[in-house]
Structure 1
């Protein structure tokens, strides 16, 4: 008599986890953390809540994974900008990238990192803290790049790298908020151009 064997414990999941995470990222991007219900998320992902918990953890953990995907995908312009040869080119690429990423025709308008937890209560505290840390990390990376530029003589010695980094992040965040309100890419690029007119001369 042949014994029926159970499926191996490590069998593959019955869905595309990568595609599901991409769709979850878009829901959070469009609706924010609190606006995205578990029903919205699982429906968009095409899976049950049980499958979501098994594959991604709870809503907080799913949001963090979605933010990581956003950083490596639509927001990858920030990491690329840091590799530009001069501080001014870094700033130009950073703001231009923000304008483009915030107005992609195939994606929600604005920035997941800005809108994800703009108006959340106590249940969304973890998401808000994650986004604060995300933005602070970007500021720190810009600060380090501008400190390097000062050391190399690419920026004036009296330049405050931290202030310059926060200035760029503030403009980029404003670009994202305006994009979410329907401002066009061309208009946002003009804002970026104006913001860079008074860039410190070397």
Structure 2
């Protein structure tokens, strides 16, 4: 959302935005191109707000802090700009997630095909917002088929944990509990996603 002041009602303006990497101070690039967006708007009043949307693939941008730089143009003339690399209100945090799954009983990656299996997946995250609450949801995947693992009752093997990020970087444990009596010989991979306010962030 872009807030503006002292524009001329009824005139058409263009707001143009560029995503900047806070760490490097350079424009964020995807497939070799800077991530930009623009939108035309015609204000009804001198002061108000308008929106400019960015649509881009975040693959490869793990653990990146992005800041939105914006300019307003009337025709080709730049009449306003907001380019503060430290503006928290313009900052977007793209986290990274890495996981390590260990069987609780064997304390290794080897799991016995038993009725009561407990697998603890340690999720290491980076670049979350300290003080905010997140939810990690996990799904067990059969590596051979690529499909969600089913327990002995035919139910999907999933788990989740909610937590408050005390620091930007940290870990949280997600425990999978399921009946694995019929899973001898299978290789299982745990997939984890992090959500903030029900929106996928990592």
* TM-score, with length taken from structure 2: 0.26
Flag the structure with more relative contact order, 1 or 2, with Cα contacts below 8 A and sequence separation at least 6: 1
Larger-Rg structure: 2
Bigger proportion of residues as helix: 1
Bigger proportion of residues as strand: 2
